[in-house]
Structure 1
């Protein structure tokens, strides 16, 4: 495959590196290991990703079976090319910071379109949502650890928890600065006023030319 592996494609390859399985089993593992907290996954996108990987020769079908009236299920295995591609993409993602544009950053860039009091109120509500998210992520992480899941399989959750906690701390500080007046949207420095340059006056000789 010429294009870089998508996060979902990398997820599929990683799961198949543990052994052959069919897409339904992949869905179960995604839920069990909370991969959907690190990668955006839907039912349709998972099957589409499996098809593309098979077309690219990174995975291959082993067998197809049917149980009763259920749809056919095809078991896939990773190929040597797929394993190499997964390792290469993982190394690339670890070493090279990606330029991302989170929506919260967009909102902060244009924050002065709203009154300071309104921004403080909205950010307080965001803080409440972040507190709830942080508690939920921590509970899910602790539950998986109690089930015996090794720490290295939950590092992405650790990073997510640290990121949410960091944002919560920043939002709380921003609210405190707005409410105390340490942060205002008033310009503290005079703006440079651009005047149009005067057009040069034409001399009598130029006018008569």
Structure 2
């Protein structure tokens, strides 16, 4: 049955949380944020969480354990993982950990078109990105310090994000320095010559 649902970071995270205990969607979203998983899983749109839960339910990877009725809250459906869901989660986890996937993030795509800008324009936007990445790195460091008492295994994704963010910042600072010094430069005429070909 797991073949009918495509794996995704959010689907894996929902299944992983349900391995620990049955939860309703709000509880899932709260735990994702509380455990810092929102740094690696997009739960900004509640609708995407509900769609993911619907897909997992339709594929019988999760099932309804109960419906909670409380005067203080609207009716809440509590989900639990099925044996098929547990097997799918383990399969997805192994695949995501072992096999690098060709992903297409927007920053490298934008870099591939930076020739549309002049070197001065590129310098400006990359300086702004470097400042934003530096702020992100500081935030990751704060979170790591605040959660230092947790077992290391629960912080591996934060460690990974820190290393990747630090590497990006180092690279950005190098490119910014080369743009500032003129070591990295281009002209629109030169770009046009490349576009026109031999």
Task: Calculate the TM-score normalised by the size of structure 2.
Answer: 0.88
Q: What is the aligned partner in structure 1 of residue 29 from structure 2?
A: 27
Tell me if structure 1 keeps the 8 A contact 2:66–2:79: yes
Q: What is the aligned partner in structure 2 of residue 114 from structure 1?
A: 117
Moved runs in structure 1, 4+ residues, more than 3 A? Answer: 190-194
What does 1:1-80 align with in structure 2 at a 5 Å threshold?
A: 1=2, 2-41=4-43, 42-80=45-83
**1:131-156 C-alpha deviation (Å, 9 max, x unpaired):** 111111221222122xx322111111
Note the residue ranges of structure 2 that are not aligned, 5 or more in a row: none
**1:62-91 C-alpha deviation (Å, 9 max, x unpaired):** 111211142111222111110100010111
Separation in 2, partners of 1:158, 1:109: 28
Separation in 1, partners of 2:172, 2:93: 32
**1:19-49 C-alpha deviation (Å, 9 max, x unpaired):** 2122221122111101111011122222222
Larger Rg: 1
Give the secondary structure class of the aligned counterpart of 1:71. Answer: strand
Q: What is the aligned partner in structure 2 of residue 105 from structure 1?
A: 108
Tell me if structure 2 keeps the 8 A contact 1:16–1:77: yes
**Aligned-residue RMSD, C-alpha:** 2.0
Separation in 1, partners of 2:103, 2:27: 32
Q: What is the aligned partner in structure 1 of residue 132 from structure 2?
A: 129
Separation in 2, partners of 1:134, 1:109: 24
Larger proportion of helix: 2
Tell me if structure 2 keeps the 8 A contact 1:4–1:89: no
Note the residue ranges of structure 1 that are not aligned, 5 or more in a row: 195-209
Give the secondary structure class of the aligned counterpart of 2:174. Answer: helix
- In the alignment, is residue 154 of structure 1 matched against residue 155 of structure 2? yes
Give the secondary structure class of the aligned counterpart of 1:99. Answer: coil
Task: Calculate the TM-score normalised by the size of structure 1.
Answer: 0.84
